[in-house]
Structure 1
Amino acid sequence: MPRVLSDERGDLVKAIADFCGRECGTKEQRDKLTANGAEHHNQQLYEKMAKLGWLGIAVPEEYGGAGRGMVDLSLFLQETSYGRAPISGFGTTIITAAAYEKFGTEAQKRTILEGVVNGRVESVSMSEPGAGSDVGALTCRAERTAGGYLVNGQKTWCSNAHFADHILLIARTEPGSAKHEGLTQFMVPADAEGLTIRGIDTMGGKEVNDLYFTDCFVPDSAVVGAPGKAWTQLMAGLNLERMILAAMMLGVARRAFDDTLAYVRQREQFGRPIGSFQALKHRIADMATELECAQLLLDDTAATIDAEPGKVFPREASMAKLKCTELAKHITLEGMQMMGGYGYATEYGMEALLRATVVSTVYGGTSEIQRDIIGKTYGL
């Protein structure tokens, strides 16, 4: 969608678009990179982006990154999503890296942040079978032992754990404490003894996992931040997580809109392009208008966060996540309807975009949770 960018940012967007067009611009290329759509991350492609310096776009310069802010990160996420680049590991990696940047030891920062720049993947595990939206209800426990902790319990819906280097685990270290107290973050190698990772079959393919911890030992040096203070640390990262998800889904929404527009322009029925019929023309107009609104909201929120990087913006970040994910789901559903049977066929790709957007209103805080957060900022 049209917007004003500086020359530097415009060059970045064009470079990403050219790369995606060249490396994964056709269905045949994407099928080869993703095992016919079953996988969502291709490590070779990911490492090509690392060599171009893109994966470190938001990593501080002292760790090899570009040290850019939310605006530039948002541009990267939107354009790679629009280009359908199979790099699903990037979102969770950046969310996780931010926690290490804020609260990790220098050794942890070196390992994680330099790894991000070089194309390594990280993951974070919060949810449990009985603790989804209510993260404070988690029961996976880490009990004190000589030189560290023994972790026992189950985590679930852990994105990308099956190809990550480490899991940023949130576990309960003080069982008798209040609900949001006594939680601690740990840096756990994905191949740690006592940790079993099992994939969960989903309509989207291989994305998420169950994690089973059985007397998994983690040393004291694995603690990220202050012991027992993980809840406060998690709250500090909410801007980033919600903005990442918003930017990714806005990119998908733009792609779905452009694909739909191209189809209704060329598809003819009753002697003329179907886009010339008022029923479809008006739907296209509404979709385009909503995309412009979402773009302005996302851009403004990203710029606001960059202007005050140490401040949390719960209302604005939740609005961006809510608007962009719900809009992406709406546009892909509309695209499938307007494309008819072709929207349902894997050849055209709309069904894959739809599957990607349906879950976006659930992960990272459901739409209902985002609305609740927004309402609370108004004193409700």
Structure 2
Amino acid sequence: MPRVLTDERRDLVKAVGDFCRRECGTKEQRDQLTADGREPHNQKLYEKMAALGWLGIVVPEQYGGAGLGMAELCLFLEETAYGLAPVSGFATTVIAAAAYEKFGTESQRRLVLEGVVNGRVEAVSMSEPGAGSDVAALTCRAERTAGGYVVNGQKTWCSNAHFADHILLIARTSREETRHRGLTQFMVPTEAEGLVIRGIDTMGGREVNDLYFTDCFVPDAAVVGTPGQAWKQLMVGLNLERMILAALMLGTARRAFDDTVAYVRQREQFGRPIGSFQALKHRIADMATELECARLLVDDVASAIDAEPGRVFAREASMAKLKCTELAKHVALEGMQMLGGYGYATEYGMEALLRSTVVSTVYGGTSEIQRDIIGTSYGL
């Protein structure tokens, strides 16, 4: 189904697509940019995007951005994911930037948002060894002291901290009757004394990190928003995080689908292309239909968010995240099956798509958490 876009949005999609084909369109280019797939972010490529004005797509104009909405952001994310652009730092940067924009001081906003426009990376740290889906269980403490706070504890799974400028840290500043109270957000420079960042080796290469805080001092000026109210602040950002992940995985699913179709069209067995066999043809048809459903869902929710920016679309954003991440994993698995042995070969790239999609159903709130949110929204 043709996508109905405004001229401006169509131009954006075309420009991003052309850029990706030119800068990282071949496996040789991507290998060079990512150290043979071990580094999912290339800062030089990222700064080229900054020079074109794309990284500030949703940053307000007074900070040098374009001031556009969720619809444009999702299109940009989808196209960069489809083009396999190694710019993994962008997702966490946009999430963090939104928190500073909504709750930060003017000096925090200016420092971070202007940095985003110019190609700087930001990170967010919530998870701990004992607190993943249950964020309210976190124990990393920030204790009051003269002129600020002293942070002690461990965080984990912090994406992009090893090349970010700051970490938006969620730590416990007090114990309250309600578990979700007493959490505070802090802006912590990655070079802060008392902070050690240690990488975690994963299937996706060097992307996530453990953070160790030992008597790490942060001044009062580092508090983002109201002390003790981080949970409410985090809830405001849920639309954005889930829609970012949905758009990225929609683009990744499209890429896995197109690569699969290209292969089954040209691969011959028993005297004809394998895609002509009903067993594969029907699976392709089902995936194509599901991709259209996912695209329409993302487009519709993004438009709704732009129409009512102050409303929290918890149900709809969770649906988009759930649908796109589960579909991307399914399409990549089907692609690997249809490519046969070549699906496992790095030359064809399907194995890399599978690695990136499998984890998408875990980060940003697992599929089980998304289903629980959706179910609860119906009073269940």
Q: Which residue of 2 aligns with 1:314?
A: 314
Structure 1 distance, partners of 2:106, 2:64, is: 14
- Report the residue type matching 1:63 in the other structure: Y
Q: Which residue of 1 aligns with 2:72?
A: 72
Question: Within 5 A, what are the aligned runs for 1:317-332?
Answer: 317-332=317-332
1:167-203, Cα deviation, whole Å (9 max, x unpaired): 0000000035521000000000001000000001111
1:33-58, Cα deviation, whole Å (9 max, x unpaired): 00000000000000000000000001
Post-superposition offset of 1:6: 1.0
Q: CA RMSD in A?
A: 0.6
Q: Which residue of 2 aligns with 1:29?
A: 29
Structure 2 distance, partners of 1:229, 1:9, is: 37
2:183–2:227 Cα contact (<8 Å) kept: yes
Q: Which residue of 1 aligns with 2:350?
A: 350
Q: Secondary structure at the match of 2:158?
A: strand
1:231-252, Cα deviation, whole Å (9 max, x unpaired): 0000000000000000000000
Structure 2 distance, partners of 1:269, 1:95, is: 47
Q: Which residue of 2 aligns with 1:199?
A: 199
Structure 1 distance, partners of 2:205, 2:177, is: 38
Q: Which residue of 1 aligns with 2:254?
A: 254
- Report the residue type matching 2:31 in the other structure: D
Q: Secondary structure at the match of 1:201?
A: strand
Structure 1 distance, partners of 2:136, 2:339, is: 43
Question: Within 5 A, what are the aligned runs for 1:121-200?
Answer: 121-200=121-200
Structure 1 unaligned segments of length 5 or more: list them: none
Structure 1 distance, partners of 2:275, 2:34, is: 33
Post-superposition offset of 1:8: 1.1
Q: Which residue of 2 aligns with 1:362?
A: 362
Structure 1 distance, partners of 2:62, 2:82, is: 30
Question: Within 5 A, what are the aligned runs for 1:18-57?
Answer: 18-57=18-57
- Report the residue type matching 1:197 in the other structure: I
- Report the residue type matching 1:96 in the other structure: A
Q: Which moved more, 1:288-297 or 1:172-181?
A: 172-181
Q: Secondary structure at the match of 1:218?
A: strand
- Report the residue type matching 1:324 in the other structure: C
TM-score, normalised by the number of residues in structure 2: 0.99
Structure 2 distance, partners of 1:265, 1:8, is: 34
Q: Secondary structure at the match of 1:157?
A: coil
Post-superposition offset of 1:7: 1.1
1:305-348, Cα deviation, whole Å (9 max, x unpaired): 00000110000000000000000000000000000001110000
2:82–2:254 Cα contact (<8 Å) kept: yes
